Structure 1
């Protein structure tokens, strides 16, 4: 287990601390008394085979996978893709997990095997994605025969499996007709539920349980319906913080522990991006890869696995803070959430700051009611024309009209969800489903409830205004703006990236 995270209180001996804004890295001085929440240490990955085999052979609940397999069994391996982890894994542990399941299936003489990628509203996987994640061995054995498919939430061949409050739930036909389903996933946050469940159903069902009025009880019911269609065995790898390559080695260590190589890497990264803003950022950050320590691998029934894996992740990443802050400060690194985009789009930046970072806590918010979130990001209109066309249109055409989620739902959601061009991009061009940006905005507004302000340091003022936020040129300026609501001597907490801090308020 790596060194746990902790909270540092800035004093007169504390060095300037690393901050990230889009693609720019800086050292920023923080005032005396500022609390800095550091995530657990990032450490390199190790061989996960032993942990995976133990999870398959000694599950936390139910029979071992080998006892569920045999001749004539119709087996489907579901690979959960909930859009993470970012930066992507240098060697994706799901590859080894799938390979070990296939080896058990071969040993048991199972000859009807397919792989389904549970992408939900996220972009469907191309052949390149399949090969990168699952490896040449699996790809060459299954792709040519059409035995690896990405789930399509708009497909005409989805099958009904039951009703929830009069709404018919439809799911992937192959998975529904299987005798045994093995779900393979990664745990890199503390969210509830099985990440593959909503990745396998229709768009209408996803919208019903995760849209404007997100319904946890309905989501649980959908999970039960999906699980009832076949015998399901889940296996989840719990991963640690991202350990970056040598050119980004300074991101792996606390500032007072930087070695000469880390100092040189930071100086080179800063000068490279400053000298060649677009090209330099693309070269350094466009496709960063990281090693992730495998903290544990848990196998068994889906409910038990996802409860157990959540507790493992919590134990490794919880950082105790004294109280909710008046001002919460967050760095926002585009390469940490937008694939191939070193800066990141404004909507995804807001989601990262307000939902993924400020919202990552154990029940008690990290910023008090009436407090302020200060985030560092340029908020450039940096949308991918191919994968984020609905997001670009949402930002340009919808938000200037209204910020209210209910009005957006009533006026704009349905037309976007059924737009032929957006659906074509989703089905054929590996773009996100148009509903994804609507759901992101609903979660952003939920996370903003109770906040007095959201201020973007270095952010484009017009982009910030479109989202109902404000911009400031420097951190000091942001504090001055915030002082109007939190007073001249606020309690400040800085969430130190690029890893994830799980805040536990004592």
Structure 2
């Protein structure tokens, strides 16, 4: 799709103009300085018209592989792995694209007489998905036929069902799910929301263990990583080495899908539009919602937002060899997500929504705020960051000091016992193995619904490059200011105050950019 860039990049011309900012489970309505550059996401791509035919074509006309039907034979052992609830954001309205792919794949397996089939949720070190969350992804028919004996979450701490395959040429340990290694064919069903996902990342993270994942989820690697521009990502080089060793032991048929950016259901469609495109109804709806949310208790606001289901639709599907497949996946992602941008800014503004990949049906705790803001939002660029080195990131978020009591036990302990004492990265890294091997966290990861202990420090690492690159990070209107100080942020009671604070380090006449998301998109910065 060819997009006129001047429709996506505007400049504030009048000081009376107002723009909405996401503010957790709510919204702000703000003025911006004249001259501020506002960058909007591209318009929504039309979906594939005949999804069933598209899936069939991808499976039988793959890239760099025989057709799926030609790989199957009676009596073989097949494992299917699928991406977990960290994708999509928000969760899709049913049917999820993974359900559609799984049903087609299973029909082909049945036609060839394949009966030994296991389906594994590739959670890596994420929390286990609940039965209802699995059912939402795979659909009722697949769930009832396979759960729980042959449809289950990967368990990175089940020692009997983990296989060590050796080390890469760089000394990286390679451990992976035993069922995935010992089957005759592993089929991976992916949902690609951003360029950092899919490809060589799928199996090593989704079906790997702490012993393996620690090699690419660490500060030294992430400091040399552009999460979305994999050409500049040391993390993805590590994943590539690990995945290539896995492929020496496992026959893999990769299936990758992309979706459009139809993020919001009908009652939130004003959030899919730029302010100047709002109708009278859009403006009325927005302000009623904004003001109603202000007076609701946080528990009700969270329940409302986490019940949101996005009307995403499939825009592409490709299957076969991992590298050939992922090349086409990235091409299709670019069509939906990339906005060409001239030059960096001194001050980057962003509104932080309620949701990131690690708090679906949960809470965006302080550590996950750091992972989402200085981590993911900062990294939504290609070539170079949207904000210059030494610049300032300002984001709006009602920072709280709360943690989900089931999902985020290690996060709370990491915050209380480590971050409240130090932000020195060497000292923090020294605590990593303690969290990764703590028997309490392992038990909760395996038999409850808590993240693995290692994920707490890992989530903190995501923001490390931005923390080193920027002069300041300022959060606007936090509810609990001392949380910001624990995280190393400064605080402001208004957006205008934050901009004045930023001028102390970037100068009195700064270039300012408002990165107007979600929907998710990428700025290709020249």
Tell me if both proteins adopt one fold, taking TM over 0.5 as the criterion. yes
Gaps of 5+ in 1: none
Which residues of 2 match residues 473-484 of structure 1 at below 5 A?
473-484=493-504
Cα gap change, 1:405/1:13 in structure 2, threshold over 3 Å: closer, same or farther?
closer
- Does the alignment pair 1:212 with 2:219? yes
Q: CA deviation at 1:417?
A: 1.1
- Does the alignment pair 1:105 with 2:105? no
Aligned partners of 1:38 and 1:4: how far apart in 2? Answer: 12
For 1:249, the equivalent position in structure 2 comes to 269
Equivalent position SS for 1:309: helix
Which of 82, 92, 97 is residue 89 of structure 1 equivalent to?
Answer: 92
Query: What is the CA deviation profile of residues 116-135 of structure 1, one whole-angstrom value per residue up to 9, with x for unaligned ones?
Result: 11110111222222211101
Name the stretch that deviates more: 210-219 or 128-137.
Answer: 210-219
Which of 8, 11, 23 is residue 10 of structure 2 equivalent to?
Answer: 8
Which residues of 2 match residues 413-432 of structure 1 at below 5 A?
413-432=432-451
Which of 353, 356, 361 is residue 340 of structure 1 equivalent to?
Answer: 361
Cα gap change, 1:122/1:2 in structure 2, threshold over 3 Å: closer, same or farther?
farther
Aligned partners of 1:117 and 1:286: how far apart in 2? Answer: 21
Equivalent position SS for 1:66: helix
For 2:125, the equivalent position in structure 1 comes to 121
Query: What is the CA deviation profile of residues 314-349 of structure 1, one whole-angstrom value per residue up to 9, with x for unaligned ones?
Result: 2321111111110001110113542234x7222212
Which of 505, 511, 515 is residue 485 of structure 1 equivalent to?
Answer: 505
Which residues of 2 match residues 47-446 of structure 1 at below 5 A?
48-81=51-84, 83-91=86-94, 92-144=96-148, 146-157=149-160, 158-164=162-168, 165=170, 168-191=173-196, 193-214=200-221, 216=235, 217-337=237-357, 338-341=359-362, 344-410=364-430, 412-446=431-465
Two-structure CA RMSD over aligned residues (Å): 2.0
Equivalent position SS for 1:59: coil
Q: TM-score, normalised by structure 2?
A: 0.91
Cα gap change, 1:275/1:2 in structure 2, threshold over 3 Å: closer, same or farther?
farther
Equivalent position SS for 1:198: helix
Cα gap change, 1:167/1:10 in structure 2, threshold over 3 Å: closer, same or farther?
closer
Cα gap change, 1:174/1:452 in structure 2, threshold over 3 Å: closer, same or farther?
same
Equivalent position SS for 1:312: helix
Aligned partners of 1:207 and 1:81: how far apart in 2? Answer: 20
Query: What is the CA deviation profile of residues 156-181 of structure 1, one whole-angstrom value per residue up to 9, with x for unaligned ones?
Result: 12112122355542211111011111
For 1:33, the equivalent position in structure 2 comes to 35
Q: Is the 8 A contact 2:123 2:207 kept in 1?
A: yes
Q: Is the 8 A contact 2:370 2:462 kept in 1?
A: no
Aligned partners of 1:167 and 1:400: how far apart in 2? Answer: 32
For 2:230, the equivalent position in structure 1 comes to none
Q: CA deviation at 1:263?
A: 2.4
Cα gap change, 1:104/1:122 in structure 2, threshold over 3 Å: closer, same or farther?
same
Name the stretch that deviates more: 358-367 or 348-357.
Answer: 348-357
Q: Is the 8 A contact 1:4 1:317 kept in 2?
A: no
Aligned partners of 1:425 and 1:171: how far apart in 2? Answer: 20
Q: CA deviation at 1:148?
A: 1.0
Cα gap change, 1:123/1:282 in structure 2, threshold over 3 Å: closer, same or farther?
same
Aligned partners of 1:413 and 1:468: how far apart in 2? Answer: 20
Equivalent position SS for 1:89: coil
Query: What is the CA deviation profile of residues 290-315 of structure 1, one whole-angstrom value per residue up to 9, with x for unaligned ones?
Result: 01132211111112212221222123
Gaps of 5+ in 2: 222-233
Q: Is the 8 A contact 2:15 2:32 kept in 1?
A: no
Q: Is the 8 A contact 1:249 1:265 kept in 2?
A: no
Q: CA deviation at 1:378?
A: 1.6
